[in-house]
Amino acid sequence: MAFPEEFYHKKISLLSGGEKTRLALASLLLKKPDLLFLDEPTNHLDIGTLKWLEQYLKSYPGTIVVISHDRYFLDQTVNRIFEIENHKLVTYEGNYSAYAEKKRLREAEELKKYELQQKEIQRQEEMIRRFKQHGTEKLAKRAKSREKLLERIERMDKPATGTRRMKLRFRQNMQSGYDVLQLKGLYKSFGQGSAKRELFRNVELDVKRGERICLVGPNGIGKTTLLKIIMGEEKPDQGYIKLGYNISFGYYDQEQKLLGSGNTVLEEVHSAYRLYTETEVRSLLGRFLFQDDMVFQTVSSLSGGEKARLALLKLMLSGANLLLMDEPTNHLDIASKEVFEEALLEYPGTMIVVSHDRYFLNKIPTRIVELGEDGLTSYLGGYDYYMEKKQSLGSGKSYLEELGKKAGSGNASGPAASPAKSAAESASGGSVPASSSMEERRRNKEAQARRKRLEKERKRLEDSIAETEAKIEWIQTEMCREEVYTDYVKVAAYQGELDSLKKTLAETYEAWIALHEEEE
């Protein structure tokens, strides 16, 4: 877990969030349990430790149950996914990529089944209405029989169109100058004498307006400290910071220490932004999925994801033009991450984000900056380019590679070794004899031709019914006119035609009913 010997007697309270996570994992993995439960194990871990953990879990001989919203991690480690959504649990075989595609197909299939059932219910109701309308004893019995069948149908609920998503849009109250921030020769250490610990030296960075910079580096190197130095909350031992024109900071704290634990959700926002009415604040909270009585919950009772959404709401309302964010995707579910990522891409201001979320790192940054003991190294583009560039520069001894080596050769023989392969094998279903396949195709072709014939005949009968009913209605209207009902010759002629049309209509209905029964 990459703890050097000088850490062995260090107080746990002095460890960073990532170091605490690594220590908890070390304590757990040493027990080698048969059943390993991991709740968001990738939160606070740097990329090197993530890669090590993935390799370790791939070869773990026991069973692993993990709660995670890290899309890369899930692709690497799992072969089965349980999704809890809308009070239901659905199981998918395979890794995250397989789950995402299967979920899309399942939702489309459920919607199609629902729409077909609704169409069939409407058709049956229309048949019942028509049977009752024409009032013959035979049709009345048919209507009653159909109503009983309709009552016994198990009605499908309309498929949910996905979980509700928060509505997030970052704005800036004023635009900054083109030169946003300069760091020159920053050096930072903690402690004195033999207990002194150097974090980094020679840190230099030039930030321009509109840049999206993602800051990476091993846990404990001082990424959070660097953000606090930029904001003026910490002082560097050496070096200086030059801020540009019209700079306003917005800060997201990974540990949510800026939230008042004793406040209610409503009080937390209203106390910071008093110009908003309570109704406006409740409306804003609703956009971030805090509804009804949730606004009266205390901040201390919220889950990690709920605290993250509350912090993002306050950040959105700040109107800052320089966002400093420390692990902002930790605790967010996948839907919230997607909304957050889209909001950042549309934000016109500047941002510096500490993150180890590799999916996020591929999508958001205009450049990635790696913090090491000897300063910063910049890489234009996203995570994949960053890793490719590091490998081409021969930096195999960087923190990203060291922990990977400690995981060994990456023996992936465990239960989660090749989820994509197992999913593909289960889908193959074995070979099918050619003669059986040809016979099935022939039957399908015949069934399709029969369906088309029945559909064409049903359309002809329905057109005939509509035409006959229109003629009956016209004759009945004509017979109500004074010049007709006072002329018995015309009345007799119309009545004869009306009787003939009603007989034709009854016969057509019989044929239509028989056709429907054949279709069913």
Tell me the pLDDT tens digit for each residue of 139-164. Answer: 777 778 778 878 878 888 887 765 67
CA torsion through residues 18, 21, 27, 29, sign: negative
The reported pTM is 0.62
Please tell me whether residue 93 adopts helix, strand or coil conformation.
strand
pLDDT for residue 407 is more than 70: no
Query: 43-52, 282-291, 339-348 — which is least confidently predicted?
Result: 43-52
The domain that holds 510 is classified in CATH as 1.10.287
Length of the chain: 520
Query: What are the residue ranges of helices labelled H in 85-236?
Result: 96-133, 137-152, 223-231
pLDDT at residue 318, rounded to an integer: 92
> Does 227 share its domain with 364?
yes
> Does 222 share its domain with 336?
yes
Neighbouring CB atoms inside 10 A of 154's CB total: 5
Residue 55 within any structural domain of the chain: no
* pLDDT range class, residue 499, cuts 50, 70, 90: confident
- C-alpha angle 384-304-32 in degrees, rounded to nearest 5: 70
Range of the domain at 114: 99-152
**Residue of 340, 336, 267, 330 lying closest to 299 (CA atoms):** 267
Number of domains observed in the structure of the chain: 3
> Does 237 share its domain with 311?
yes
Q: Single out the residue in 116, 133, 152 at which a domain terminates.
A: 152
Neighbouring CB atoms inside 10 A of 116's CB total: 11
Residue 244 within any structural domain of the chain: yes
pLDDT at residue 367, rounded to an integer: 93
Residue 91 within any structural domain of the chain: no
> Does 267 share its domain with 393?
yes
Q: Single out the residue in 406, 441, 462 at which a domain terminates.
A: 406
CA distance 144 to 468: 24
Residue 236 within any structural domain of the chain: yes
> Does 380 share its domain with 245?
yes
**How would you classify residue 126: left for phi > 0, otherwise alpha for psi between -120 and 50, otherwise beta?**
alpha
CA distance 404 to 391: 13
Residue 289 within any structural domain of the chain: yes
Q: What is the mean pLDDT of residues 109-116?
A: 87
> Does 192 share its domain with 141?
no
Q: Single out the residue in 386, 406, 426 at which a domain terminates.
A: 406
> Does 144 share its domain with 234?
no
Query: 86-90, 162-166, 177-181, 500-504 — which is least confidently predicted?
Result: 162-166
CA distance 338 to 336: 5
> Does 141 share its domain with 104?
yes
> Does 307 share its domain with 388?
yes
**Residue of 507, 233, 94, 312 lying closest to 302 (CA atoms):** 312
**Residue of 390, 383, 373, 59 lying closest to 220 (CA atoms):** 373
> Does 268 share its domain with 396?
yes
pLDDT at residue 425, rounded to an integer: 42
Residue 417 within any structural domain of the chain: no
Contact between 218 and 46 under an 8 Å Cβ cutoff? The reply is yes
**Residue of 324, 340, 355 lying closest to 247 (CA atoms):** 324
The domain that holds 213 is classified in CATH as 3.40.50.300
Contact between 303 and 336 under an 8 Å Cβ cutoff? The reply is no
The Cα-based distances of 61 to 34, 38, 415, 417, 455 in angstroms read 8, 15, 7, 10, 58
> Does 193 share its domain with 252?
yes
pLDDT at residue 433, rounded to an integer: 58
CA distance 395 to 383: 15
Residue 237 within any structural domain of the chain: yes
CA distance 318 to 316: 6
Residue 143 within any structural domain of the chain: yes
pLDDT for residue 325 is more than 80: yes
Q: What is the mean pLDDT of residues 440-453?
A: 83
Q: Kindly report the backbone phi and psi dihedral angles of residue 398, in degrees, each rounded to the nearest multiple of 5, phi listed first.
A: -70, 170
> Does 370 share its domain with 462?
no
pLDDT at residue 134, rounded to an integer: 66
* pLDDT range class, residue 426, cuts 50, 70, 90: very low
Neighbouring CB atoms inside 10 A of 323's CB total: 24
Q: Across all residues in the chain, what is the average pLDDT? A: 83
